Amino acid sequence: MRRVVMKFGGSSVATTEKIKKVAEILKRRKNGMNDIVCVVSAMGDTTDELLSLAGELSKNPSRRELDMLLATGEMVSASLLAIALNEMGEKAIALNGVQAGFQTKGRHGFSKVVDVDTFRIEKELLEDKIVIVTGFQGLNSNEDFSTLGRGGSDTSAVAIASKLGVDCEIYTDVDGIYTVDPRFHKEAKKLTKVSYDEAMEMAHLGAKIIDPRSVEMAKKYGIRIYVALNSASVLGTYIGEDSVEESIISNLSVQDNILLVKKTLKDESVAELFLNLAREDVNIDIISKMDTDGKTLVRFTSVIDEKNLIEKVADDFEFVENVSKVSIIGNAMRNQSGVAARVFDLLNSNGINFHGLSTSEISISIIVDTIVKEKVMNLLIREFEL
Amino acid sequence: MRRVVMKFGGSSVATTEKIKKVAEILKRRKNGMNDIVCVVSAMGDTTDELLSLAGELSKNPSRRELDMLLATGEMVSASLLAIALNEMGEKAIALNGVQAGFQTKGRHGFSKVVDVDTFRIEKELLEDKIVIVTGFQGLNSNEDFSTLGRGGSDTSAVAIASKLGVDCEIYTDVDGIYTVDPRFHKEAKKLTKVSYDEAMEMAHLGAKIIDPRSVEMAKKYGIRIYVALNSASVLGTYIGEDSVEESIISNLSVQDNILLVKKTLKDESVAELFLNLAREDVNIDIISKMDTDGKTLVRFTSVIDEKNLIEKVADDFEFVENVSKVSIIGNAMRNQSGVAARVFDLLNSNGINFHGLSTSEISISIIVDTIVKEKVMNLLIREFEL
């Protein structure tokens, strides 16, 4: 029997009707001679509903208690899915994060998977059961429930797949990874495969497809991730060693609600500034520094949500809001020079004023006012045939 | 610090507003120099809602999966209560059945507590925390969640109290134990104390006050149970060694929906009949047998819900429905003869026709048609000044 790990997100198990459909998919795969471990998220908006209950009691609830509260969401969906499978005559068992052997460390709500002791999962697979595992959760060294943060169920699935050395299929509400978000660009092309690095860069640069931590783990253990819709009829996207052939740029991603922050100061206080920002846990992206007339102009990007935090550090920041970051990503950039030059030329010849531009090994990001975002996207789509 | 175990039922934690009120009660007790372990049930109708979700997927869901599903109910209420206490500045921690050390055995959904390893509870108490424990659940030897059945949270609370050797306070939606259900008899007297045996007999004979298993455990470990309303202002009822002084009968309880079953058969097949009924797991209460003319008339009582099961055993049973069981209970019956005679006389002189009558060491139960139930209750209330 070929083993496979399949993960279904919250929208796939939002109602008992949808849970039945997932059960049917699993039953078909099982009868197609697969040993299945299935990781599930909480039903629909359960996590938000639980958070709102906690919010009625405290503005700043203890993360340790929240994790116990939130861990119930996946226990409900997992046990219901096992019940649905039993009803169809399939042997199935639901395991929560503790039973499935997830050992975690780090802050509650943002925990990391240290290891998965797959003893129990292996045992149940050998008894020919479909093993349903709650995503998003584990037990830390205090023997307390801990959760992995948003997108954590992807990480749970990839962690099990990594330990079992098998592929991981992630079923979601998009049917694969596209060159551009199809809601913006109808002619966007679906990518049959992208490389680990591209997928990680896409996730970091705004594509809401998969948790970047899970791609990192898949890369480390050399297992493939397959992202697709529930229904097996449409082919999705593989994330693995290889990228799409013969295309420099494989994806365009966008992040809105960027906050551009400027400050003029003496050169010797720059280090202190960023130390203070780090102390407040401010999330900083692109930094640029310019020296003129003995003064230093520092400019960095963050996100709107962090404005309050930034204001704690100093009261003379200049803020620019309504800013977006448009990024293009492609493995082939590694071996191909001149992409940045092409982008510069494109923006200049079309009179686009941009706040900044940053490059990584396989991506270029352009900071622009949100008002010109779509124009920039369309220029890039045409230039790189996305 | 005096230690105490307090248990709050589902109606006491049905909403976040009610959870706040319970938190206030706990905070006051804590500041009154008590070390507190608080056992909670699931919020309001949560358990029924979870059962109904499972019911949408299967008419006969696996009890193992159901137990995982149901165990989430108390995890939600427990973590929310801890969050509410934190918000009030109290140190508190929620532990689920596994973390609280509940080891169980037996059928899923009807498990028994084998032991409570209170190591973690003791540790958290020493750190001056209010320890919130999920009722109703534990871990069995397969490392699976198991639940203790309806009323199981009482058992959880008494089990912890027994291990810690402290009193157990059970807060519910009645303000104590009465001689008669006050909804039927407004002048019913509240009992300040009842004996373990009386409380067990009351629970078995229809009084829905406390799970009889928990009284049995309290008796075994010699700890007292206090049953009362949430608010500390009204005195409740203690369950302990002693009974109420100077009263023969301390309680009248009623069970409706009794099924009276009759069958005529040959004497040698009586044993076989009851063996077959036992095989179907039929719940049988009072049995009577009469021999006439070489035939044997067997009569027993069960409950309406078991009629289908009983019909599986034979097709020539005669059923009498709309039957009730009225019972009087009192510790003093042990040392006082003539109570049964007084009851007989009372029923005869008032022309009450009864189907049967059974006595235990401290109780007398009368099987009557439901239509005369209230008349019988009123006669007994007057006769024994309840």
Task: State whether B320 and B224 are in the same domain.
Answer: no
Binding residues of B: 7-10, 47, 74, 172-173, 178, 183
* Chain A nearest-CA residue for B123: A142
Chain B contacts of A83, Cβ < 8 Å? Answer: 54, 57-58, 61-62, 65-66, 69
Please give the average per-residue pLDDT across A214-221, as a whole number: 93
* Chain A nearest-CA residue for B19: A57
Cβ of A76 within 8 Å of Cβ of B75? The answer is: no
pLDDT band at A36 (very low <50, low <70, confident <90, very high): very high
A313 neighbors A332 (Cβ within 8 angstroms): no
Q: Touching check for B98 and chain A: CB below 8 Å?
A: yes
The pairing of beta strand B237-240 with beta strand B193-195: parallel
Please give the average per-residue pLDDT across A140-151, as a whole number: 90
Cβ of B64 within 8 Å of Cβ of A93? The answer is: yes
Cβ of B76 within 8 Å of Cβ of A83? The answer is: no
- pTM check: above 0.90: no
Q: For A263-289, how does the pLDDT look when each residue is reduced to its tens digit (9 = 90+)?
A: 988 777 888 888 888 888 788 888 888
With respect to residue A246, please indicate whether it lies within any of the assigned structural domains: no
With respect to residue A245, please indicate whether it lies within any of the assigned structural domains: no
pLDDT band at B291 (very low <50, low <70, confident <90, very high): confident
Provide CB contacts within 8 A for B89, sequence distance 6+. none
CA distance A138 to chain B (A): 14
DSSP B148: -
With respect to residue A174, please indicate whether it lies within any of the assigned structural domains: yes
Cross-strand pairs, A299: A262, A288
Alpha helix (H) residue ranges in B165-268: 196-204, 212-221
Task: State whether A149 and A278 are in the same domain.
Answer: no
Q: For A117-128, how does the pLDDT look when each residue is reduced to its tens digit (9 = 90+)?
A: 999 999 999 999
pLDDT cut 70: percent of chain A above it: 98
Q: Give me the CATH number covering residue A377.
A: 3.30.2130.10
Q: For B163-217, how does the pLDDT look when each residue is reduced to its tens digit (9 = 90+)?
A: 999 999 999 878 889 999 888 899 998 998 999 999 998 888 877 788 888 999 9
Q: At what angle do helices A212-221 and A152-164 cross, to 10 degrees?
A: 10
Q: Looking up tokens 């009759």, which residue turns up?
A: B262
Last residue of a domain, one of B214, B239, B264: B239
Tell me what pLDDT residue A244 has.
64
CA atoms of A106 and B29, how far apart (whole Å): 34
Cross-strand pairs, A365: A327, A358
Task: State whether A195 and A275 are in the same domain.
Answer: no
Cross-strand pairs, A376: none
How many separate helices (H) and strands (E) can be counted in chain B? 11, 20
* C-alpha separations of A88 from A28, A92, B295 in Å: 11, 10, 49
Last residue of a domain, one of B239, B260, B280: B239
Tell me what pLDDT residue A341 has.
84
Q: What is the mean pLDDT of chain A?
A: 90
Tell me what pLDDT residue B244 has.
64
Q: Looking up tokens 């298993």, which residue turns up?
A: B213
Q: Give me the CATH number covering residue B191.
A: 3.40.1160.10
Tell me what pLDDT residue B245 has.
58
Please give the average per-residue pLDDT across A98-109, as a whole number: 94
Most trustworthy range by pLDDT among A32-36, A268-272, B143-147: B143-147
Q: Per the structure block, which two tokens stand in for B124?
A: 């958290």
Tell me what pLDDT residue B230 has.
75
* Chain A nearest-CA residue for B78: A69
Q: For A46-72, how does the pLDDT look when each residue is reduced to its tens digit (9 = 90+)?
A: 999 999 999 999 999 999 999 999 999
Task: State whether A133 and A270 are in the same domain.
Answer: no
Last residue of a domain, one of A177, A208, A239: A239
Q: What are phi and psi of A163, to 5 degrees?
A: -65, -35
* ipTM for this model: 0.80
Tell me what pLDDT residue A289 has.
80
B95 neighbors B120 (Cβ within 8 angstroms): yes
Tell me what pLDDT residue A135 has.
95
Picking from A7, A171, A170, A20, the residue whose alpha carbon sits closest to that of residue A84 is A20
A43: pLDDT strictly greater than 80: yes
Range of weakest confidence among A147-156, B75-84, B137-146? A147-156
Q: For residue A52, give the H/E element and its range.
A: helix A46-57
* C-alpha separations of A255 from A81, A93, A108, A366 in Å: 35, 40, 27, 10
Tell me what pLDDT residue A291 has.
79
* C-alpha separations of A266 from A292, A310, A356 in Å: 10, 19, 22
Please give the average per-residue pLDDT across B14-28, as a whole number: 96
Q: For residue B258, give the H/E element and its range.
A: strand B251-265
Chain B contacts of A78, Cβ < 8 Å? Answer: 68
B286: pLDDT strictly greater than 90: no
Please give the residue range of the domain that contains residue A348.
Answer: 251-384
With respect to residue B245, please indicate whether it lies within any of the assigned structural domains: no
Q: What is the mean pLDDT of chain B?
A: 90
Range of weakest confidence among A161-170, A211-220, B38-47, B96-105? A211-220
Residue A148 DSSP SS3: coil
Cross-strand pairs, A7: A39, A170
Q: For residue A158, give the H/E element and its range.
A: helix A152-164
Chain A contacts of B75, Cβ < 8 Å? Answer: 68-69, 71-72, 75
Q: Looking up tokens 């049988």, which residue turns up?
A: B284
Task: State whether A272 and A342 are in the same domain.
Answer: yes
The pairing of beta strand B112-116 with beta strand B102-105: antiparallel
Range of weakest confidence among A213-217, A266-270, B123-127? A266-270
Task: State whether B56 and B200 are in the same domain.
Answer: yes
CA atoms of B154 and B136, how far apart (whole Å): 8
Tell me what pLDDT residue B33 has.
83
Tell me what pLDDT residue B211 has.
84
Torsion, Cα of A138, A143, A149, A155 (10° steps): -30
B318: pLDDT strictly greater than 70: yes
pLDDT band at A246 (very low <50, low <70, confident <90, very high): low
Chain A contacts of B117, Cβ < 8 Å? Answer: none
- Please count the other Cβ atoms lying within 10 Å of the Cβ belonging to residue A355: 19
pLDDT cut 70: percent of chain B above it: 98
Chain A contacts of B26, Cβ < 8 Å? Answer: none
pLDDT band at A231 (very low <50, low <70, confident <90, very high): low
Tell me what pLDDT residue B212 has.
85
Range of weakest confidence among A288-292, B19-23, B44-48, B355-359? A288-292
* C-alpha separations of A79 from A92, A95, B46, B117 in Å: 9, 8, 16, 27
Task: State whether A205 and A347 are in the same domain.
Answer: no
B368: pLDDT strictly greater than 90: yes
Q: Touching check for B40 and chain A: CB below 8 Å?
A: no
- Long-range Cβ pairs for the range A312-315 (8 Å, 24+): A312/A280, A313/A273, A313/A276, A313/A277, A313/A280, A313/A282, A314/A263, A314/A273, A314/A276
- Long-range Cβ pairs for the range A380-384 (8 Å, 24+): A380/A249, A380/A252, A380/A326, A380/A328, A380/A343, A380/A346, A381/A179, A381/A180, A381/A185, A381/A252, A383/A342, A383/A343, A383/A346, A384/A247, A384/A248, A384/A249, A384/A252, A384/A328
B239: pLDDT strictly greater than 90: yes
B69 neighbors B76 (Cβ within 8 angstroms): no
Cβ of A82 within 8 Å of Cβ of B76? The answer is: no
Please give the average per-residue pLDDT across A133-138, as a whole number: 96
Q: How far is CA B94 from the centre of its chain?
A: 25
Cβ of B79 within 8 Å of Cβ of A56? The answer is: no
CA atoms of A170 and A150, how far apart (whole Å): 15
With respect to residue B24, please indicate whether it lies within any of the assigned structural domains: yes
Provide CB contacts within 8 A for B257, sequence distance 6+. B303, B304, B305, B324
CA atoms within 13 A on the CB side of A344: 8
Tell me what pLDDT residue B289 has.
79
Residue A220 DSSP SS3: helix
CA atoms of A58 and B95, how far apart (whole Å): 19
Q: Per the structure block, which two tokens stand in for B354?
A: 């009864």
The pairing of beta strand A112-116 with beta strand A363-369: unpaired
With respect to residue B244, please indicate whether it lies within any of the assigned structural domains: no
Q: What count of CB pairs under 8 Å joins A to B? A: 109
Task: State whether A324 and A378 are in the same domain.
Answer: yes
* Chain B nearest-CA residue for A21: B57
Q: Per the structure block, which two tokens stand in for B263?
A: 């069958």
Please give the average per-residue pLDDT across B130-150, as a whole number: 94
Task: State whether B225 and B264 are in the same domain.
Answer: no
Please give the average per-residue pLDDT across B74-79, as a whole number: 98
Tell me what pLDDT residue A284 has.
84
Residue B287 DSSP SS3: strand
For residue A172, say whether it is annotated as part of any ligand binding site: yes
Task: State whether A211 and A102 are in the same domain.
Answer: yes
- Please tell me the total count of domains within chain A: 2
With respect to residue A103, please indicate whether it lies within any of the assigned structural domains: yes
B225: pLDDT strictly greater than 90: yes
Tell me what pLDDT residue B258 has.
93
Q: Which amino acid is at B87?
A: E
Task: State whether A206 and A281 are in the same domain.
Answer: no
Provide CB contacts within 8 A for B378, sequence distance 6+. none
Task: State whether A365 and A288 are in the same domain.
Answer: yes
Q: What are phi and psi of B295, to 5 degrees?
A: -110, 160
